[in-house]
Structure 1
Amino acid sequence: MENIAGDLRIGDLRCFIEVAESGHLTSTADRLGIPQPTLSRRMARVEKHVGTPLFERAGRRLYLNPRGQAFLSHAHRIAAEMDAATAQIGRLMDPELGTIRLDFMHSLGTWMVPELIRTFRADHPRVEFELHQGSANNLVERVLGDSADLALVGPKPAAVGTDLGWAPLLRQRLALAVPEGHRLDGEGPVALQEADGEPFVAMLPGFGTRMLLDALSASVGITPDIVFESMELTTVAGLISAGLGVGVLPLDDPYLPTVGVNLRPLQPASFRELGLVWRVGADPAPAVEVFRTFVGASRFAASA
């Protein structure tokens, strides 16, 4: 049995509670299915641990003295805490009862995340989710720091293969988003350098689509003139439609508003990779493993 401190065990404490409530060693030993001398030794260990007798004896009956009465309330609380801890650990180890700490980028909160959770909970209704939104960089840091079990991010982080595991889910082709009637409004693919000198609406630094814009701009030797930064792709699309500037957005995002915006695929073709990350070497709860397997077999993974 577990030691509480020194040589006192939780089993000794439970026996003390039973004896305190019954007042009889013999009947308590019979009910617990242990020899009376064993029960007596356990009572002696409890009294040795607290450093004072806890019972008064009158014939064969035991009565708690004031010190024993004070200790009994603490013993009940300790036993209850141990029971609660054991139950919580059991829930964490049960794939049908655990909690999954899932992080995701803002742009995935309107379509990918709700669908994954809804379909997963259809077969695992008692699993709980602890959710957090943030930038791609922040989410990766949270997974590495064990603040999250899993994160849905993009693009693929540099730490994949060393510190992070990666399950690719979806590749979205990137487009130059321009307002209707803009000089670059037209048909077919367009090179990003065609937008050199234009005002850009972009995501905040650290967000996935902003990292892609920065990398693509550097690769073609331009520096975007960013006039507004947001943490929501829908805001970026809306401000582009209002004529505030141009931007880089993913194609085929089902909830990205495109009214008043023309999305022209970038040439050469560039993509936003979306995937699930987790910390290499982590010992996740079974529910997390079940969800990770589920996501890897989802329709999103099938289209990666």
Structure 2
Amino acid sequence: MTGISTSDLQGFVMVAESGHLTDSAAQLGVPQPTLSRAVRRVERGVRAELFERRGRSLALNARGRAYLPHARRALAELAEGAGKVSRLMDPELGTVRLDFMHSLGTWLVPDLLRDYRALHPGVDFLLHQGDARSLVDRVLADAADIALVGPRPAEAGTDLSWHQLSVQRLALAVPEGHHLAAVAGPVDLREASGEPFVGMLPGYGTRTLLDSIAAELGFSPNLVFESMELSTVAGLVSAGLGVALLPLDDPYLAPVGIVLRPVDPPQYRELGLVWRAGALAAPPVDQFRSFILRQGNG
């Protein structure tokens, strides 16, 4: 493919799709002889004629039809590469790949994006929502720049950098009228060891905390339902399906029909952000991360 430029490939694809040099040259904003020479360079580069020339029109021959998808893919790869370089250079026009847990999509993430976009309207965000474990794995695989997760992952301090944003005390959620709702104040989670539990699916942050806390206390929760949403867990507790471990002060988790008793000894849900340790400098990402860190320290 020696001697073929990106503009030559663009010209070839345009002519292949339109079938006319004149129309394609007008769309590209170049003289027709310039476009004709570009098509010839592509043909010389692949050492074959790619069009059947019929007067003023050109139709792809079998060789041209075989080459066209590769030319399109090459242009797409080059555009993607240019985009990756761009996001590494301009903090005001780049892209941030932000991942977050489901439970943060109702308050923390919208608040951060609203405030940040007011200051930096040209920055684009690619958002992904999931469980804490898969989000951590995505950051490690460089599929995401930053993830908002909890609790602090095991890789923090080695493969990942971590910054704590907030801490939520955990509570045992029980339905109104439940015998564990009759007493106010903190509760030892072992008092609920024989109860049916409603919990998050494995890999979700609150489920990880439930499993680890219960294991430390010497029991395994009897899970009767597993969900992807804390609000669903709270709703099913209010319906009497079971009890649950929930954050005590989540601003958007309305505890209707349930009683929240803080766990004793106190247990907490850490919320923070992670990013790959040693990741290459990326001004849009670095600027957004600095903004989050300032919010957390404010």
TM-score under structure 2 length normalisation = 0.75
Q: Determine the structure 2 residue equivalent to 1:40.
A: none
Residues 51 and 157 (structure 1), Cα distance of their counterparts in 2 relative to 1, 3 Å cut: closer
Task: State the superposition RMSD in angstroms.
Answer: 3.6
Cα distance, 1:82 vs structure 2: 10
Q: Determine the structure 2 residue equivalent to 1:36.
A: none
Q: Determine the structure 1 residue equivalent to 2:172.
A: 176
Q: What code does the residue aligned with 2:287 have?
A: V
Q: Determine the structure 2 residue equivalent to 1:130.
A: 126
* 1:210 paired to 2:207: yes
Q: Determine the structure 2 residue equivalent to 1:282.
A: 279
Cα distance, 1:85 vs structure 2: 6.8
Residues 227 and 84 (structure 1), Cα distance of their counterparts in 2 relative to 1, 3 Å cut: closer
Rounded to whole Å, the distance in 1 between the matches of 2:7 and 2:222 is: 72
1:244 maps to which of 241, 250, 255: 241
Cα distance, 1:196 vs structure 2: 1.5
Q: Determine the structure 2 residue equivalent to 1:104.
A: 100
Q: Determine the structure 2 residue equivalent to 1:254.
A: 251
Q: Determine the structure 2 residue equivalent to 1:63.
A: none
Deviation readout 1:243-279 (Å, 9 max, x if unpaired): 1111100011111020111111110111000000011
* 1:271 paired to 2:287: no
Cα distance, 1:285 vs structure 2: 2.4
Q: Is the 8 A contact 1:154 1:274 kept in 2?
A: yes
Q: Determine the structure 2 residue equivalent to 1:58.
A: none
The worse-fitting range, judged by mean Cα deviation, of 136-145 and 278-287 is 278-287
Residues 193 and 120 (structure 1), Cα distance of their counterparts in 2 relative to 1, 3 Å cut: same
Runs of 4+ in 1 over 4 A off after TM superposition: 8-13, 17-20, 49-52, 80-87
Aligned length: 258
Rounded to whole Å, the distance in 2 between the matches of 1:113 and 1:101 is: 13
Deviation readout 1:117-151 (Å, 9 max, x if unpaired): 11000100011111111111110111101111110
Cα distance, 1:21 vs structure 2: 3.8
* 1:292 paired to 2:284: no
Counterpart mapping for 1:35-46 below 5 A: none
Percent identical: 58
Rounded to whole Å, the distance in 2 between the matches of 1:11 and 1:115 is: 42
Counterpart mapping for 1:131-210 below 5 A: 131-185=127-181, 186-210=183-207
* 1:232 paired to 2:266: no
Q: Is the 8 A contact 1:174 1:269 kept in 2?
A: yes
Cα distance, 1:223 vs structure 2: 1.5
Q: What code does the residue aligned with 2:230 have?
A: L
Residues 275 and 20 (structure 1), Cα distance of their counterparts in 2 relative to 1, 3 Å cut: same
Rounded to whole Å, the distance in 1 between the matches of 2:76 and 2:223 is: 55
Deviation readout 1:29-61 (Å, 9 max, x if unpaired): xxxxxxxxxxxxxxxxx89x8599xxxxxxxxx
Rounded to whole Å, the distance in 2 between the matches of 1:215 and 1:205 is: 12
Q: Is the 8 A contact 2:87 2:283 kept in 1?
A: no
* Secondary structure in 2 matching 1:159: coil
Residues 215 and 11 (structure 1), Cα distance of their counterparts in 2 relative to 1, 3 Å cut: closer
Q: Determine the structure 2 residue equivalent to 1:93.
A: 89
Unaligned runs of 5+ in 2: 9-29, 36-40, 48-57, 59-67
Rounded to whole Å, the distance in 1 between the matches of 2:46 and 2:273 is: 56
Q: Determine the structure 2 residue equivalent to 1:27.
A: none
The worse-fitting range, judged by mean Cα deviation, of 229-238 and 179-188 is 179-188
- The structure number with the bigger radius of gyration is 1
Counterpart mapping for 1:114-125 below 5 A: 114-125=110-121
Cα distance, 1:91 vs structure 2: 5.0
Q: What code does the residue aligned with 2:218 have?
A: G
Counterpart mapping for 1:74-85 below 5 A: none
Unaligned runs of 5+ in 1: 23-45, 53-65, 67-73
TM-score under structure 1 length normalisation = 0.74
